[in-house]
Chains A and B, each alone.
Chain A
Amino acid sequence: MSSGLSNSRSFGDRVILALVIALSIVMLAPALWVIALSFKDNAELMANPNSVFHPPYIIQNYINIVGTSAVFRWILNSLIVSIGLTVGTLVLSSLAGYGFARLNFPGRDILFVVVLFGLAVPEQAVLVARHQIFSILKFHNTYQGIILPGLSSAFGVFLMTQYFRAIPKELDEAAMLDNASRFRVFWKVLLPLTLPAQATLGIFTFLGAWNDYFWPLISATKKEMFTLTVGMASTQTNFAQSEGIGYLMAQAVFAGAPIFIVYLFFQKYIVTAVSGAAVR
């Protein structure tokens, strides 16, 4: 393509290149800074902030984390919550998407419009009431308490409905005439075709759950139930009287590492998945 980096080096290309490089530095520098700090002794940093640029670099902060930090528990909790919500969302959205796109039942169109309205309801508009309901149900500080609210999101249903609608009807029509049950048609014929949409929805849901902060902050209030976001927040404002900066940075690197590794492995799929969302 004409706008790519690899073409002839005109003046315009150079400007673009310079801009891209500048932006890359802005992207990278903060992360590298944090990584560098995580390899420094807390006391040395206190005495001289510039010491980050020269040795000694140490791994003591990481050793301390392995020994003492609750970060592993937080990562585990985040994984349970994110996977639970992702699986739940995929199941519910696929079923509902098929129902709305392909089947007829009384009140279907009105129901779909109502669900679409749900897209515009921000989490915060229902937060206070949800918190009270979950208090009554004793759902706070449980995994279901963190997972369930996400299942009501209308985004997945909307996405899957659109995707099912885009599949040519001849495919399932033939199966229907063979008198296959509706669930069989859904399960055997259509569901496999929606894999790309499943991937898109799955990745968005997973990332959304992994990064959620607001709901876990008020629902998961016991340290055993902290998710990564809440746990990290519980330590980060205490630079002075608690763990030193180096330790906190090491904890941040540790906390960011798993999802980053997942990202590196699944990069291709994530990119296609994100692109999948744009088709519509």
Chain B
Amino acid sequence: MTAVQAPRKPSHGPHSPDWKNALFVAPYLFFFVTLLVFPLFWGIWLSFHKADTFSSGPFVGFGNYVRLFNDKVFLQSVGNTFYFVLLTVPTLALIGLFLALALNARTRTATVLRSLFFFSSVLSVTIVTLIWRIVFIPQFGLLATVYGWFGATAPAFVSDPNLAMIAVAMATIWWCLGLPMMLFLSALQQIPGDIYEAAALDNASRWRTLTAITLPSIKRTFALVIIIQIVLQFQLFGQAWLMTRGGPNNVTKPIVLYIYDTAFRRWDLGLGAAASEVLFVLILLAAMAQYLISRRKEDL
């Protein structure tokens, strides 16, 4: 980071270790430990026990994990989650980048359009899903109506097993597009203008300016957008739960919905806890992979 390295001070200066200094971090650490660290270990402990919502049972070792990896629905939900991330993250990044490039201007139209593409981000997931259910619903749906104008029948987005996840992804992209666009916009605005002036003097084509100057300058933001979105979309729950209930036949059931289902609908707390730990490991791996990749890029 950009912090200036201060010269070393003698041992009695403000930089010597002092227990009292920890008072500043203590309030946060209290919540961190009680509400994150402790529950995390409790969850791990639970995942090794046969426990239901109203009573905890005996230690079962890796029993819950064995059941988990023998459960077709769990494996399917892991696959679904990856599929969903694959559908949404690149699309969000690419459309976000496109919009940022197109709307990076100080005109009134660009400002209005930027607001337009960001407004959906402030809505609750329940409103977003209500809106999209009304888009997809047969008969009253926006899609049904538009198709009706051409005498066609709209595809059954929510109930067709091949389309259901795409429908969930569409609602998600509509909802989440604002953030990547804004992140890209701010990155674009930080590219020094004189580089572009130099390029203009060289008569570089727009494509060349884009690929040689703009894109390389926002490489880090691109990585940032991708990791933020991967972590966010990995935790898909509300949209799938409210639009499709995870159906038809579990094709839109993500890991988080599996956890909810197991722990709060089937009372199988131990199994739910085990599934949570798997999700944790997956996200940890994604974060670490991203960290390593961005590290290597900086070294180059």
Contacts and interface: CB of A to CB of B under 8 A. Distances in A.
Given A95-B24, A127-B276, A128-B269, A122 B134 contact: no
Nearest to B206: A2
B33 to A, nearest CB: 8
Interface string B216-258: 0000010010000001001101100010000000000001100
B150 interface: no
Given A105-B21, A255-B124, A274-B179, A3 B214 contact: yes
A136 B95 CA distance: 47
B182 A27 contact: no
Contacts of A120: 231, 280, 283-284, 287-288
Nearest to B2: A166
A125 B279 contact: yes
Interface string B120-147: 1111111101111111000110101100
A125 B40 contact: yes
Interface in A111-126: 111, 114-115, 117-126
A277 interface: yes
A33 B130 CA distance: 11
B106 to A, nearest CB: 8
Interface residues of A, number: 108
A20 B35 contact: no
B25 A271 contact: no
Nearest to A20: B102
B13 to A, nearest CB: 8
Given A122-B279, A252-B130, A255-B124, A50 B145 contact: yes
Nearest to A26: B174
B185 interface: yes
A152 B209 contact: no
A interface: dominant SS: helix
Given A34-B131, A129-B46, A165 B3 contact: yes
A98 interface: yes
A233 interface: yes
Contacts of A173: 6, 14
Contacts of B103: 5, 20
Interface residues of B, number: 115
B101 to A, nearest CB: 5
A81 interface: no
B59 interface: no
Given A28-B116, A34-B134, A169-B6, A124 B256 contact: yes
A176 B238 contact: no
A206 B17 CA distance: 35
Nearest to A258: B122
B211 to A, nearest CB: 12
A110 interface: no
Contact of B134 (A30, A117, A166, A280): A30
B119 interface: yes
- The listed residue with most A CB atoms (<10 A of its CB), out of B39, B125, B177, is B39
A44 B133 CA distance: 20
A163 to B, nearest CB: 10
A274 B256 CA distance: 27
A69 interface: no
B15 interface: yes
A45 B123 CA distance: 25
B16 A5 contact: no
Interface string B2-35: 1110100000011111111111110111011011
Contact of B110 (A5, A27, A232): A5
Nearest to B237: A214
Given A104-B15, A245-B134, 12 more contacts: A91-B27, A103-B21, A105-B22, A108-B17, A127-B39, A152-B36, A186-B24, A236-B133, A270-B118, A271-B118, A275-B186, A278-B182
Interface of B: 1-4, 6, 13-25, 27-29, 31-32, 34-40, 42-43, 46, 95, 98-99, 101-107, 109-110, 113-127, 129-135, 139-140, 142, 144-145, 148, 174, 177, 179, 182-183, 185-190, 196, 200, 206, 209-210, 214, 221, 224, 231, 234-235, 237-238, 242, 255-256, 259-260, 263-264, 269, 272-273, 276-277, 279-280, 283-284, 287-288
| CB-based closest 3 A-B pairs | A4-B105, A275-B186, A99-B24
Interface of A: 1-6, 12, 16, 19-20, 23-24, 26-31, 33-34, 37, 45, 49-50, 52, 91-93, 95-96, 98-101, 103-106, 108, 111, 114-115, 117-130, 132-133, 148-149, 151-152, 154, 157, 162, 165-166, 168-170, 173, 176, 182, 186, 207, 210-211, 213-214, 218, 228-230, 232-233, 236-237, 245, 248-249, 252, 255-256, 259-260, 262-264, 267, 270-271, 274-280
